[in-house]
Structures are given as structure tokens and as C-alpha cells.
Structure 1
Amino acid sequence: MAYRVLVVDDSTFFRRRVKEILDQDPNLTVVGEARNGEQAITQVAELKPDVVTMDVEMPVMDGITAVRQIMAKTPVPILMFSSLTHDGAEATLDALDAGALDFLPKKFEDIAGNRKEAIDLLQSRVKALGRRKGAMLSPRPTIARTSPGTTAQTKQFLRPSRSLNEATGASSAPERTFSRPGTSSGKQYKVLAIGTSTGGPVALQTILTAFPANFPYPILLVQHMPGTFTHAFAERLNRGCQIDVKEAQHGDILRPGHAYLAPGGKQMVVDGSAQMPRLSIVDGDNLPNVTYKPSVDLTFTSIARVFGGDVLGVILTGMGADGREGCRALHSKGAKIWAQDEKTCVVYGMPQAVTSARLAEKNLPLSEIASHICSEMRAS
């Protein structure tokens, strides 16, 4: 069955371009087009699409307002198109807060290195969101200190997606679930590392805003995101969190209660020693077998070299398998690895890759991850 898509943009040329790309995939069908947010609201109600692609800046009604109203009235997975500017980053983050689940740069040459790669990426993102449409989950418990912009309707889309075993080459493994946190295991820690991609901005916001100001360890964050977005995202997280959050810079010395977000388009590597760890920010253009910038695998592997097993690694929602090999390196040193569960992932790719490789000790719903981390790492 093909996923039905509504394309929303004030540019006739861009709507035609997106339609041509999506219609090339037999599993995607564009069922309607809208020139502004007001038309989008009407057509979502009438056409009941599986996915909406949405521009940010439009006449009559902008995309952010439209997302907010759609999610309040007729929730549907929404993919935003945005410009790679600071203002574009802020607007996209506002759209994610309003309920959109994912975003891509509006200039296709910014999406990927060539046309075929860009086409494949757009098609795969839309299909991934299409799998969010269907049976709705019952409302989840309220998450402490959740951003006021994160809607209950957004959380309704956090439910199972199709298996990625074929894509990752991993064997199927039963997902383990655990009760609410209790006492710490008593393990020694020196750092918390979190990797994520699609759906990550909301997931990271949910977790980090629940941490106390005196969180006892440094936190390293790797989120697949364009370079112009990570600074704005770090600033937004810092405004909403009790801990300090910043975009990582070359030479940063890791400090407890501080979170360091890998800059987009670069690689974040931990150097030095466990007693004096510092960050190196490099281009990493010539690194073999590294697809993403930033790469969870690369950062996590460097963490394993410096901190050994004194690490709690967490893999959150995201497409693909980035993080699996980094978690393998950590796991081999004795680190603990946790993964977000399938039901609360926007895309169950990265967590499934880690779980199927039998590296994850726990599979946790998003609403419980922060409390489990705080209990395990004795943060209060």
C-alpha cells in the first residue's frame, strides 16, 4: 500500500519538484497540493494523508502555525522543509516543538552530494514518517519539564515502525523492557554519551530538561543535524535546561553538569586522558567508512578509547545504524548501553541496530529514560 502525501509550499515549481520525486517511488503517492497553511489544514481534514511535507514561510498562514493547528485537530506526521540559515534553524525547531516530526533542507543540493542520493533520502524520510500513521497510541504520562511546545499529539506518533533487520544485516532479537528506576547498579562512571537522529531534537529536549543542575558527569551529544542548526539547537536546549548546554568547540575541557553538542558538518572526538579529557572538532572528510557528520560511531569509539568502560551510552530514535559500532566498542570495554524502545521512537532504526546486535542492556520508553539515567548515575 502506498503512503499518501500532501505537499504544502507556496512555490508551484517546488511543489512540482517534490511531487515528481515522491511519485517515482511506487510506495508513495501525492494526493494533494496546498499553497499555504490555511489550505493545508483544510486538505489534511479532507484528504487524510499519511504524511505532509510543509514549507515554513508561506503567505496567508505560515507553516509553524499550520503545524500547530493540524496537530491539534487532525494529527498527521509532518516533514518540514527549511533553509540552512540561523533563522531557518530557529523556525524549524519551532515547527518541531509545534509537532512536526522531521525536517530536511529545502535546497536539494544541501541534502546530499548528488541528485540520486537526495531523491533516495527524501523518499526514505517520507516513508519512515508514513509508518507513524495508523493506530494511535493512548496518551502517555506527562513528562516532567517537557517543553510547552511539545504537544500530546506529537507523542501519539511514537509507535512501532517496520523492522530494519534487512537494512542493518542484524538478526532479530527480542526487545527487553524494564520497570521504573530503582537504585543504582553501583557502576563507576565518568561520562554520559547520547546519540540520535530523526526525532532526536524532541527526544533530547525531553531528557535533558529533566536533569538536575548538579548532574555529576559531562554529557556528550551527537545529533544528526546541519551545521547551521546545531548552534541554534544548543542555545535552545541551554535556555530550557538546568544543566549547561553548548555547541562543542575545539579544545573544550569536559566538565560535570555540562552537555556538549557535536557541531553539524564536523566530527567530535574525545582526546587526552580520563583525568583531563578534551574535545577535538575536526572536518573528518577523509575518514574511511564514516557516512555521517557528526557520526555517533566516531564519537563513541573515541569515548571508549579515553574512558574505557566508565560510560553510559544511550541510543535514541533515528534512521539507519549509526552508533552500533561505537556502542560495540564501548560494550567491549564494559560500558553500559541503553536504547530507546520501539514504541516511542519516531524511527526505530538506530536503537534497533544496537538492540539486534545484543549490545543494549535496557530498552526504555522516552518518558522514563531521564529518570533511569539519574538513578543509575546517582544524579539528584
Structure 2
Amino acid sequence: MTYRILVVDDSVFMRRIISDLIAEDPELEVIGTARNGKEAVEQVKLLRPQAVTLDVEMPEMNGLEALRHIMSEAPTPVIMLSSLTQEGARETIRALELGAFDFICKPSGSISLDLYKVKQQLHEKLRAAVKANVKKASPLAAQAALPPKPAPAAPAARGAAAVPNAAADKPAGSTQFEHLIAIGTSTGGPRALHHVVSQLPSNLPAPVLIVQHMPPNFTKSLAQRLNDVSRVKVVEAEDGQVLETGTAYVAPGGWHMTAHRDSKHVYRIRLNKDDPRSGHRPSVDVLFESLVPLKELKRHAVIMTGMGSDGARGMLAMRQSGAVTTIAEAEESCVVYGMPRAAAKLNAATDVLMQQDIARKLAQSVGCSG
């Protein structure tokens, strides 16, 4: 059996490069190409590919607009081709919110090793994409890329326009706390984090540590975007940073993140470049395992959508060490039911919840009504 792939890029050279790389996998077949977003939408409806590779910057209709149409009119797994620039990272995060399955960084075409890495990623991600739960991942057409409504807040003044929560003042956090939340996710994670983190109340009496499998630069854009749509403060983590309540810390791409208590009984972040775990750095297992000794805290762990099994053993260790809450996302709301499945199989999760119920459960677990 072969899987049918559509390649979309305004560059003839890139269309050929990507098509040739895909064709090296006997299970993948390029059934067509498109030069811009408008053609892409038409070709998706006509050819019904099982997955699409989609560039962002194109004439007539760019990749983000094309993605909106595809996900609302003919939901199909889409792999975005992203540049390594800061702007490219921001656009990629938006695409993932819109329902893109995943992304890869565009090959330069000049270095054979670069092309080899891209080929490996293309094959792996396209094979996973054709089996993805894209209908569940796609946003409502009328609300494309908008966050779900945040937890209740004070009403706006009469006549004031409704604005995203980023405009609201975020309360200062405290370094004194008894609860700690840790979240791990991978493929499909940015959109899942968008939904969960934006629902956390501003008075959350706990820090939140987040590991999302993602390269450097992209994690910074992810943190900035989550901060824009959330009541809690969201930052990319820094080595030695003191943990505070009402703040979420995203592990930077290429670094493992752990938490520890220093000699003054202050909780801090540590970043390291130790070997990848299960092919990942940052690794969810590394984060979760660092929380096992912190038994003086009431710990809460979450594993959401993603390929593989990263985080499952770490979550089990947390549960065995007395963690209060361990949550695996339910299969029905996962884009890829890999990491949560592994946690469930190990009996590491105390709760299996749909994505839309996770923030509420966390708030209840830390004694916060919102």
C-alpha cells in the first residue's frame, strides 16, 4: 500500500527536491504538486491526498490561508515547511494552532547531510500524518487559530472591546507554593497546549513546567504565543530561573529541563545538554524524573498528544513517589495517541481525560476555582 502525498511550494526547485526525497520511501507516492495556496486547496479537493507538505510564503494565497481552507473544507494532515528564521518560527506556531500536523525545517539543498536529515523527518512524519486524527485537530472554521474562551474573569468596562487575555495584567507570582504542575507533549502539542494553558486561571497557586518536543527558536515563539492567549504568564525557561506561581516555563529546544530545590529552599530550573532520551532533548522523562525527589510538594503531571513513549516511565516514577495527579490525554482528543497510550499501558495515569477537561482538573487538583 502506498500513501498519496501532495507537495506545495512556489519554488520549482523545492517542489522537485521535496518530491524526490518523498519518492525514496516506497510507501509514499507524490500524486501532484501545487505552486501556491489557491492551487493547493483545489488540488486537495480534486486529488484527495492522504497528506500534504505545505510551504508558508507563496503568491496568491499563502500557506496559512491555504491551511485554514484545507482544515475547514477538506481536513487533511499537513506538514508545514518552515524556515529557521524568527518569523518562520512564529508562522509555524500559528500553523500548528490552525491544525497542521507537524513541521520540518526546509532543506538548504546545498549540504547532503542536511538533505538526509530532512528526508528522514519527511518519511517519519508523513507516515505518522496519514494515520493522524486530523478532524479532531482541526479548528472551527469561524474561529481559526483563536484560543478557546478563557476561564471566567472580571467583566470588561462598558463599551470596551473584547481583547485576548494578553492585554490583561498578570499578577505577580510567589516563590512560596506547595503544588507543582508538569506537562509533556510532542506531535500535536502546540495546539493542545494552546487549549490547556489558555484555560488555566491567573491565580493558579503553582508553577507549570512544560516540555514540548521542538527545535531551538521554535520554543521561544511557542512561549510567546502561549503568553499572548493565557491568563498565566508563559516564558521560555532559563537556567537558574526561580519558579513562581502563576507562571509556565517552556523548556528551550535542544536543552533538557529539570527542577531542583537549592540550599535556601528555593525551587529553580536547571538546563543541561546531556544526551537525548528516546531521541529527544528536551525529554519529558528527564523533567518528570527530576520531580520524583521533591516529595514535599504536591505534584501533578500531564502527558498529552505525541508519537513515541517519552514521559511514560517518568510519570510512573512520579506516581510511585506519591504524585497527587497523573493525567494522560484520552485517545479521542489526541492528534497522535502515542505518549498517552504508553503512560496508560504502564498504569502511570490516575486519570484519562479529554483535552478540554485537563485544565479544569488541574485547577481543581491545586485547589483553585478560577
Specify the code of the residue in structure 2 equivalent to 1:303.
Answer: L
Q: Which residue of 2 aligns with 1:160?
A: none
In structure 2, what is the Cα distance between the partners aligned to 1:342 and 1:49?
A: 24
Q: Which residue of 2 aligns with 1:345?
A: 334
Q: Residues 332, 229 of structure 1: CA spacing in aligned structure 2 closer, same or farther, 3 A cutoff?
A: same
Answering whether residue 13 of structure 2 is matched by residue 23 of structure 1, we say: no
Q: Which residue of 1 aligns with 2:74?
A: 74
Residues 129 and 346 in structure 1, CA contact (< 8 A), matched pair in contact too: no
Q: Which residue of 1 aligns with 2:310?
A: 322
Identity of aligned residues (%): 40
Q: Which residue of 2 aligns with 1:182?
A: none
Q: Residues 309, 358 of structure 1: CA spacing in aligned structure 2 closer, same or farther, 3 A cutoff?
A: farther
Q: CA deviation at 1:132?
A: 2.7
Q: CA deviation at 1:293?
A: 1.6
1:23-53 CA deviation, whole Å, 9 max, x = no partner?
Answer: 2323322111111111101101110111111
Q: CA deviation at 1:189?
A: 5.5
Q: Which residue of 2 aligns with 1:202?
A: 191
Runs of 4+ deviating beyond 6 Å? 137-140
Secondary structure in 2 matching 1:221 = strand
Residues 308 and 330 in structure 1, CA contact (< 8 A), matched pair in contact too: no
Q: Which residue of 1 aligns with 2:39?
A: 39
Answering whether residue 251 of structure 2 is matched by residue 255 of structure 1, we say: no
Answering whether residue 367 of structure 2 is matched by residue 371 of structure 1, we say: no
Secondary structure in 2 matching 1:22 = helix
Specify the code of the residue in structure 2 equivalent to 1:280.
Answer: R
Answering whether residue 224 of structure 2 is matched by residue 235 of structure 1, we say: yes
Q: Residues 147, 245 of structure 1: CA spacing in aligned structure 2 closer, same or farther, 3 A cutoff?
A: farther
In structure 2, what is the Cα distance between the partners aligned to 1:247 and 1:25?
A: 36
Q: Which residue of 2 aligns with 1:54?
A: 54
Q: Which of 258, 269, 273 is the aligned partner of 1:283?
A: 273
Q: CA deviation at 1:240?
A: 0.9
Q: CA deviation at 1:243?
A: 0.7
Q: May I ask how many residue pairs the two structures share in their alignment?
A: 337
Structure 2: gaps of 5 or more residues: 149-176
Specify the code of the residue in structure 2 equivalent to 1:83.
Answer: S
Answering whether residue 145 of structure 2 is matched by residue 149 of structure 1, we say: yes
Residues 243 and 268 in structure 2, CA contact (< 8 A), matched pair in contact too: yes
Q: CA deviation at 1:250?
A: 1.2
Q: TM-score with structure 2 length normalisation?
A: 0.83
Specify the code of the residue in structure 2 equivalent to 1:229.
Answer: F
In structure 1, what is the Cα distance between the partners aligned to 2:356 and 2:328?
A: 13
In structure 2, what is the Cα distance between the partners aligned to 1:108 and 1:349?
A: 31
Q: Residues 227, 22 of structure 1: CA spacing in aligned structure 2 closer, same or farther, 3 A cutoff?
A: same
Q: Which residue of 2 aligns with 1:169?
A: none
Q: Residues 227, 373 of structure 1: CA spacing in aligned structure 2 closer, same or farther, 3 A cutoff?
A: same
Q: TM-score with structure 1 length normalisation?
A: 0.81
Residues 75 and 138 in structure 2, CA contact (< 8 A), matched pair in contact too: no
Q: Which of 328, 345, 354 is the aligned partner of 1:356?
A: 345
Give 1:137-216 correspondences, 5 Å limit.
Answer: 149-150=145-146, 190-216=179-205
Q: CA deviation at 1:114?
A: 6.8
Q: CA deviation at 1:201?
A: 0.4
Specify the code of the residue in structure 2 equivalent to 1:277.
Answer: Y
1:61-89 CA deviation, whole Å, 9 max, x = no partner?
Answer: 21111111222222211110101121001
Residues 79 and 100 in structure 2, CA contact (< 8 A), matched pair in contact too: yes
Cα RMSD of the aligned pairs, angstroms, is 2.9
Residues 184 and 304 in structure 2, CA contact (< 8 A), matched pair in contact too: yes
Specify the code of the residue in structure 1 equivalent to 2:328.
Answer: A
Q: CA deviation at 1:215?
A: 0.5
